[in-house]
Structure formats: C-alpha cells, structure tokens
Amino acid sequence: MRAVRISVRKSQIFSLTKMTATLLKKTTLAAGFFLGLLACRDEPPPITLLRFEEDLMAFDSTRAQKNLEDLMRKYPDFMPFFLEEIAHNPENAHETPLEALAGFALAPQIRRLYDSCRIVFPNLDEEERALARLAQRYAQLFPQRPPLRFITTLTEFVGDAYAVNDSLIMIGLDLFLGENFSGYDPQYFPQYLRRQFSKEYIPVKVGLAIASRMVGPPPQERVLDYMLNNGKILYILDQLLPQEPEYRKMGYTEEQLAGCYANEAEVWARLLELKVLYEPLTHRNQKLVMPSPATEMVFQEAPGEIGSWVGWQIVKAYMRRHPNTTLEALINFRDSQRLLELSKYKPKRTD
C-alpha cells in the first residue's frame, strides 16, 4: 500500500497520538478476545480418559478382595474384559477373578512395564488432546452413536488398542514404548511391527479399533471380501483422522506407500492375473490382507497388506462416484462384488 502523508498542527499531535494509542489498545484487546473465542471454538470438548493402570498398580495384596470390588465398581464395563482377555492365565482353567487380578498386578514384569510407561509417558496431555480431536470428529461423523470414552492400561503386549464396546476404547500403553524398547523381542515383534510401537501411532491404532468394530467382519471368506472390508475400515479411519499421514494409517514407510501409488495399476493387474480375488482366504494368500512384512505373491517388493490398500482405493473410487453415500450406508453395504462393480475401479498406469 502506498504511504500517505498527513500534515497536522503541533497542538493536534498529542491528541492524535493519545487517540491512536487508545484505539490500538482497544483493537488489541478486541483482537485478543476474538482470537480467544476462536481458540475456544476450535478446542475440542473434554473427553473421558481413565487411567486404569494407576489403580491397578495400587493393588494391595492385604486388601485384595476389597481392591477387586473397588475396581469392579469403578470400571464396570472394563473389568470383565480385562480379567478374561488380559489378566487371565490361560494355563489355569480354574483361576478365579481375584487370582487373575492379583497374579497380573503383582507380577514383577508388570511392575517393570509400568515403570517404563511412566518414563515414556510422564503425562498424557498430548495424547489426550489428540484423542479429544478424534472424539470430536467421531461425534460429527456419527452423531447417533454414543460418545467415545478411553481407558489406558497395561496388557503385557496383548493389545495396542481395542474397542471393548461401542463407546469404550482400551489403549495398551506398553505397546507404544518406542520401536527400540528392550522388551520387544524381535522373535515375536519383527521390525515392520516395532516401527508402529511408538506414541505417534496411538491415534491411528485407536481409530483402527473404532473403525474395525463399526465395520465388523467381512460378509464372506473370499479375499475380495477381506480387501473391501479392510478398505472400508481404512476409509473410515481416514475420515476420523484426516491430518494423519496415509503411510502411518497403513503401517508402511513413506517409501512403501509411494511405491504402492506408483505401481497401483501393475498391482491390480497382478491380482487379476493371479485370479486370487474369489479364492477363500488361506495361508497362501493371507498376506494380502493381514499384517506381514511383504506380499511376495504380488511382487517381491510389495509391502504386506497390499490387498487391503487396494481395497481402500476401491472404496475411495466408489465414494467418489457416489458422493451422497453416508458412512453408515457404506458400512451396511455388504455386497462386495456389487461394490467393486459400482466403483468402476480402474487405476491408470504411470509410465
């Protein structure tokens, strides 16, 4: 903007300066107030984040029965799941709930895991903000469903995130301690899994747990059914977490995801050539849609679950052609063949 020169008498200078200062002060206050309102509006509403592991580590063997009753009272919809799926010793068929709780809470390795979690997670402020944004987005996309609640725990590597019911999501902190954590035995946790064991993956794993429960199992046991079912899960995850990078949603490296897009047409052609889409899921083809380091049957360099990635692209194509389809309608569209046909999926070669 061109500068404008204004001439004033000396007697006017003080009054103009004073008036300008007053206006600037009022403008600054008004701007600050307005920005504050915007910040409040953008700030997601508070969420329920329960810290079960803290109560678990307060378990007192001299008051064991009361501890059990208190936990059952405080966590009525989580404790039955925890006792059966996490704390229970599968080698002891006659184990009582109290024995399961005491055996888990007092085990030395669990205490060590708790100490490690406290080092990596001195607080959960950052994670709580991310979960609040996810919960807000979920409420916008699925207003008829109950609001989300979250509970953190120790699982002794049983699970990273799991939807206990339609509203309660469990987060196993011990599977987010960093890929180099010494407790992750490479024999059981290969590198392609360990790179996802960091705190940055918590929103993605929680989103996957939510979407997986919503979509449910595939309608049939064919490879195509698993591809499109997983594609729906990934599509919903993408809607819940639009700011998260795609490679993280797939559990890939950035290079692997770039390779998928660069070779999308060749991958689809190879799947058609193998005539694998209508085969039942077997040990031979399960790497297409289940976690694995690679999918060699497609290409030697193809990452694991590349069939799920293709399923995601098919669902994207369908939603582009049918933009009025709601997410609830997509979830309830159970005819895999019809969805494939209506998507008119045909990736272009990138030469």
With 60 as the cut, is the pLDDT of residue 264 above it? yes
With 60 as the cut, is the pLDDT of residue 16 above it? no
In total, the chain counts a number of residues equal to 351
With 70 as the cut, is the pLDDT of residue 276 above it? yes
Which pLDDT belongs to residue 348? 83
Residues with Cβ < 8 Å from 139, sequence gap 6 or more?
A: 147, 148
Collapsing DSSP to helix, strand or coil, 49 comes out as strand
Give the pLDDT band of residue 130 (cuts 50, 70, 90): very high
Distances in Å between the Cα of 86 and the Cα atoms of 93, 155, 162, 218, 291 are: 14, 6, 12, 26, 22
Give the pLDDT band of residue 134 (cuts 50, 70, 90): very high
Which pLDDT belongs to residue 351? 59
Across 202-210, average pLDDT: 98
Give the separation between CA 135 and CA 146, rounded to whole angstroms: 11
Distances in Å between the Cα of 274 and the Cα atoms of 282, 284, 289, 290, 346 are: 14, 12, 15, 18, 17
Tens digit of each residue's pLDDT (9 = 90 or more) over 70-100: 999 999 999 999 999 999 999 999 999 999 9
With 50 as the cut, is the pLDDT of residue 49 above it? yes
With 60 as the cut, is the pLDDT of residue 331 above it? yes
Tokens of 300: 């030697």
pLDDT > 70: percent of the chain? 87
With 60 as the cut, is the pLDDT of residue 273 above it? yes
Which pLDDT belongs to residue 30? 46
Give the pLDDT band of residue 310 (cuts 50, 70, 90): very high
pLDDT > 90: percent of the chain? 87
CB 314 within 8 A of CB 305: no
Give the separation between CA 136 and CA 228, rounded to whole angstroms: 26
Residues with Cβ < 8 Å from 327, sequence gap 6 or more?
A: 141, 142, 236, 239
With 60 as the cut, is the pLDDT of residue 27 above it? no
Bigger pLDDT: 32 vs 331: 331
**Amino acid (one-letter) located at 50:** L
Across 129-146, average pLDDT: 98
Which pLDDT belongs to residue 94? 95
Tokens of 134: 């996810």
Give domain limits for the chain. Answer: 48-213, 216-343
Task: Pick left, alpha or beta for residue 171 (phi over 0 → left; psi -120 to 50 → alpha; otherwise beta).
Answer: beta
Give the pLDDT band of residue 349 (cuts 50, 70, 90): confident
Which pLDDT belongs to residue 43? 86
With 70 as the cut, is the pLDDT of residue 11 above it? no
Give the separation between CA 117 and CA 287, rounded to whole angstroms: 32
CB 79 within 8 A of CB 71: yes
With 90 as the cut, is the pLDDT of residue 157 above it? yes
Which pLDDT belongs to residue 80? 98
Task: Write down the pTM of the prediction.
Answer: 0.87
Give the pLDDT band of residue 55 (cuts 50, 70, 90): very high
Tens digit of each residue's pLDDT (9 = 90 or more) over 158-190: 999 999 999 999 999 999 999 999 999 999 999
Tens digit of each residue's pLDDT (9 = 90 or more) over 213-228: 999 999 999 999 999 9
Which pLDDT belongs to residue 223? 98
Bridge partners, 150 (sequence order): 49, 169
Task: Indicate the angle between helix axes 125-141 and 223-240, nearest 10 degrees.
Answer: 110
